[in-house]
Chains A and B, each alone.
Chain A
Amino acid sequence: MSRVTSAETFARARRREHRVLALLALAAVAVVVAFCVIALRGNWEYALTIRARKVAAMVVVGCAVAVSSVLFQTVTNNRVLTPGIMGFDSLFVLVQTLVVYFFGALALSSADPRLLFAGQVVFMVVFAGALYRWLFGRRSRDLYVLVLVGVVCGTLFSSLSSLAARLINPNDFVVLQDTLFASFNSVDQDLLVVSAVLVAVVSLWMGRLFRRLDVLALGREHALNLGVDHRSVVNQVLVAVAVLVSVATALVGPITFLGLLVANVARQLAGVSRHRVVVPASALLAVVALVGGQLVLERVFSLDTALSVIINFVGGIYFIALLIREAKR
């Protein structure tokens, strides 16, 4: 047997990773182009602007969901839970509903949206930190307990939101619904620009942590042994996740299972757990899923249903499959 050196093996792995990323990038570009040009009729300049804005929204949301899900899975050391499943985005909806409930729609529309958003993000950071400490701070907990807590939290938050939504007056409700479920068809341009900048900044910030996150994924004790400041990295990630979830939810509302789907499929395609590969791969996959899904939705189902329904259907099945597989181990 000729001796295999690590230098060769790792170089081969890097080439494979580059190939996977290049293919995914190609797929993402292809669906974006297809989405923009298929059945383009009438005033094409106008139609193209509308479509480009939609695509931009989907790219921003896809990146935010993918990055936050991969990072959350790393710091919680599991592959089944995501911020979506733990009810983070439902919480964001609840916070927004409560603002309208207590201060009225006037407050929501007249307040500085950036200030409002900042306040909501701070709230999310506090909650995410508290939940993390409570659930993951001690010795590792049973996966099913965590899933249950997530489902209970998510249901509780969305039930509270719909209760509050029923109690407010109809005019306020319309304003609220408008901000909550903007969907990709009616994304506010200013909000989109701010969101894109936020997602880009947070992603770059997290990019600096990728190598340390690779170590963190081995588990807390391995990370400490290898000299990674576990607490500091986890805190930074939790803040980033809270910001990203807030951005994605503010733009299009909750898409519970998207993050789970793209994070795990990206890991499987890449064949490694390195963040430098998995994070961009899952962001590209999220773009493919969202834009491709929207394309199918508009052309095949002629807008009969919502994109989140399709993604949650596929993602939900995948989630159950993952749970069953984990149970067998």
Chain B
Amino acid sequence: MIEVRNVTKTYGSTKVLDDVSLTIAPGGVTSIIGANGAGKSTLLSIIGRLLPADSGRVTVDGLDVATTPGATLAKRLAVLRQENHTSIRLSVRELVAFGRFPHSRGRLNATDLAAVDEAIAYFELEEFADRQLDQLSGGQRQRAHVAAVLCQDTDYVLLDEPLNNLDMRHSVQMMRRLRRMARDFAKTVVLVVHDINFASCHSDEVIAMRDGGVVAQGPTAELMTPELLSTVFDLDIAVHDIGGNRIGVYYS
């Protein structure tokens, strides 16, 4: 269980997160939605201990992320940010293998190597597994990074915009994989998603944020209403039932 209690974060004079409290139950896919600057990524980074909170507390299974040793936390919680620039030469396979570091401490055994192969196959990366990252397209690189995070094999997986740079086919596959992973291995997946319809079709729960605060949290079907979405995004959004999914239409 992820518990966020009274978390506040300020950059300069702008309050990015204002006294946020929420609880994410274990198991299932939770999507955080909201307009640009709503504080989604900052919240995810604080839960993933990449950023310190100014005040407040975040615990994951009772472990305070600010004080628990990094090596302990890295076996339970994995986080991937939006920009993932690495300045060193690295092949996809080497990157994915780094995901095993919390378990192997750099000495890969047979189990680790098998997990690397499995993650590469799972994300259909075999074709360019031994190419350098800087020779890949943005979408291929994104898949390699997600594969590395999943190779870490943690109970909690936090992903900031995992659909970045992915085409439609790969976006759908990515969401299906995350969903299947959450279901089959009882993992807790928390995503920041821009496309509300991906959030609607693939998540169990949605957290809607606006101006550094949580507007609503609940089962996806309950939150996918024109009223709520219009408040969150400042935009008229019609919601239709299509093939059993709630689809927001806002293009025209």
Residues of A within 8 A of B (CB): 1, 3-7, 9-10, 77-79, 211-212, 214-215, 217-219, 221-222, 224-229, 267, 271-273
Contacts and interface: CB of A to CB of B under 8 A. Distances in A.
B49 interface: yes
Given A5-B113, A211-B106, A227-B72, A218 B88 contact: yes
B101 interface: yes
B117 to A, nearest CB: 5
A contact patch SS: loop
B146 interface: no
Given A224-B49, A227-B101, 19 more contacts: A4-B130, A9-B130, A10-B113, A211-B101, A212-B106, A214-B98, A217-B88, A219-B84, A221-B79, A221-B81, A224-B70, A225-B48, A225-B74, A225-B78, A226-B102, A226-B152, A227-B71, A229-B69, A273-B89
Interface of B: 48-50, 69-75, 78-81, 84-90, 93-94, 97-99, 101-102, 105-108, 110, 113, 116-117, 120, 126, 129-130, 149, 152
Contacts of A272: 89, 94
Nearest to B115: A6
A214 B152 CA distance: 16
Given A224-B49, A225-B48, A225-B74, A6 B113 contact: yes
6 contacts: A4-B130, A5-B113, A9-B130, A211-B101, A221-B81, A226-B101
Contacts of A226: 74, 98-99, 101-102, 152
8 A-B pairs closest in CB distance: A227-B74, A211-B106, A227-B71, A273-B88, A227-B70, A226-B101, A6-B116, A6-B113
Nearest to A210: B106
B113 A215 contact: no
A9 B93 contact: yes
B87 A77 contact: yes
Contacts of A219: 84-87
Contacts of B105: 211
A267 B70 contact: no
A79 B113 contact: no
Contacts of B49: 224
Contacts of A271: 89
B70 A6 contact: no
Nearest to B95: A218
A227 B75 contact: yes
A229 B72 CA distance: 11
A221 B129 CA distance: 23
Contacts of B110: 7
Contacts of B120: 6
Nearest to A229: B70
B88 to A, nearest CB: 4
A218 B50 contact: no
Given A6-B97, A78-B87, A267-B89, A225 B113 contact: no
B102 A224 contact: no
B101 A215 contact: yes
Contacts of B97: 6, 10
B50 A224 contact: yes
Nearest to B85: A219
A4 B126 contact: yes
B91 to A, nearest CB: 8
A143 to B, nearest CB: 10
B87 A228 contact: no
B119 to A, nearest CB: 10
B95 to A, nearest CB: 8
B64 to A, nearest CB: 15
B87 A222 contact: no
Contacts of A224: 49-50, 70
Nearest to B129: A4
Nearest to A7: B113
A15 B52 CA distance: 42
A5 B117 contact: yes
Contacts of B116: 6
A7 B93 CA distance: 11
A224 B71 CA distance: 9
Interface centre among A3, A9, A214 (most CB of B within 10 A): A9
Nearest to A227: B74
Nearest to A232: B70
Contact of A3 (B89, B113, B126): B126
A5 to B, nearest CB: 6
A322 B47 CA distance: 38
Nearest to A213: B106
B178 to A, nearest CB: 17
Contacts of B86: 217-219, 222
A268 B97 CA distance: 21
Contacts of B87: 77-79, 217, 219
